[in-house]
Amino acid sequence: MLCPKMRTRPFLLFLVGMLALSTASAAPAFMYGIDDNNEIIQYDPVNKMTRLVQDTGLTKFQGSNAFAFDEVRNQMFWLYQGDATNPAGLYYWDQVTGTIDRIASQAQTWDNQRFPANAVYYRDPSTGISYFVWITEGGSTVNFLPITYDASGNPTGVGADIQRTISGPSFSPSFMRFGDIAVQTSTKQLYLATSNGRFSKIDLTNAFGQALLPYTEIKTGNPSLQLAFDCEENILYGQRYVATDTGSDNWYTINLATGVTTTIPNYSTEGARLSARDLGGSSCTDSPLTAR
């Protein structure tokens, strides 16, 4: 008969193997966001590392929001409210070269709306057209802003805003305070985390063939979160924006089916220079840029 130590050893080896498998299965998640000082921050909730990547040179405190990352071209888009030197509009940043430029004015983007606090990059799988997407704050509109490019893949401007209306028995425009949004391209589902704790989704399956987009509420009572998937769009992460550093863990994973959040232990990005006003998405590779 096996002694107790011999009986437990295979079980322990099994646990170690399963732990190693679960750790290895976590896809890279080099996420990008912007802080209160308009600095671009790289977040890595898998390895629990955070670093300042680049100062945008924009000067309006809390002037930037609505980040959206294109992981194919390694480009980040965001909205800026403007300062004495830099006009308001849609800006982009190249994750590899560090290039920053404005490609659209306020009049071409959120004009006649509240300044957006949510955004996501969406490439329509059917057409290949790239969109900067946001939901109107306090409204019922999903905005799809087409991005135009030159022959080298650099963004040069935008087309006309395509608007669709959110519809569903559990929907109210008053819920649409953000928070953030994130899209899972493979399922064409747009996930929403609102500042009042709602976690829901909007079906984009026929977004460009119909006027109404179906809305489904999944859970209430969640923290107000900034959202981003890992680079393979398997795990949805959330960060709770906290302007004052308290040392508390403020990162989560979110179950897409139930909306239940699970705290990532020992990972905190609080404070004006670390906490993201918005998350844009993930790259599978670390940025080569080092902030100076």
User: What pLDDT digit, counting tens, does each position of 11-48 carry?
Assistant: 443 444 443 333 345 777 899 999 999 999 999 999 99
* Cα(140)–Cα(155) distance, integer angstroms: 28
Write out pLDDT tens, residues 170-206. Answer: 999 999 999 999 999 999 999 999 999 999 999 999 9
For 178-192, 208-222, 277-291, which range has the lowest pLDDT when averaged over its residues? 277-291
Residue 43 falls inside a structural domain: yes
Residue 161 falls inside a structural domain: yes
Q: What is the pLDDT of residue 29?
A: 85
* CATH assignment of the domain containing 201: 2.120.10.30
Identify which of 83, 85, 84, 103 has the alpha carbon closest to the alpha carbon of residue 93: 103
Write out pLDDT tens, residues 44-70. Answer: 999 999 999 999 999 999 999 999 999
Q: What is the pLDDT of residue 171?
A: 97
Per-residue pLDDT at 134 exceeds 90: yes
Tokens of 169: 């028995």
Q: What is the pLDDT of residue 12?
A: 42
- Residues 260-282 have a mean pLDDT of 91
Count the domains in the chain: 1
Give, in degrees to the nearest 5, the angle at Cα 252 between 234 and 75.
55
Residue 273's pLDDT band (cuts 50, 70, 90): confident
Residue 1's pLDDT band (cuts 50, 70, 90): very low
Buried (b) or exposed (e) across 1-20, using 16+ Cβ within 10 A? eeeeeeeeeeeeeeeeeeee
Burial class (CB in 10 A: 0-12, 13-18, 19+), 174: exposed
Domain of 44? 29-283
- Residues 137-151 have a mean pLDDT of 98
Residue 4 falls inside a structural domain: no
> In terms of DSSP bridges, do strands 226-229 and 236-239 run parallel, antiparallel, or are they unpaired?
antiparallel
Per-residue pLDDT at 114 exceeds 50: yes
Residue 68 falls inside a structural domain: yes
DSSP state of 26: S
Residue 17 falls inside a structural domain: no
200 against 244, higher pLDDT: 200
- Residues 265-285 have a mean pLDDT of 89
Report the chain's mean pLDDT, rounded to a whole number.
90
- Residues 223-244 have a mean pLDDT of 93
Residue 119 falls inside a structural domain: yes
- Find out whether 250 and 242 touch, Cβ atoms under 8 Å: yes
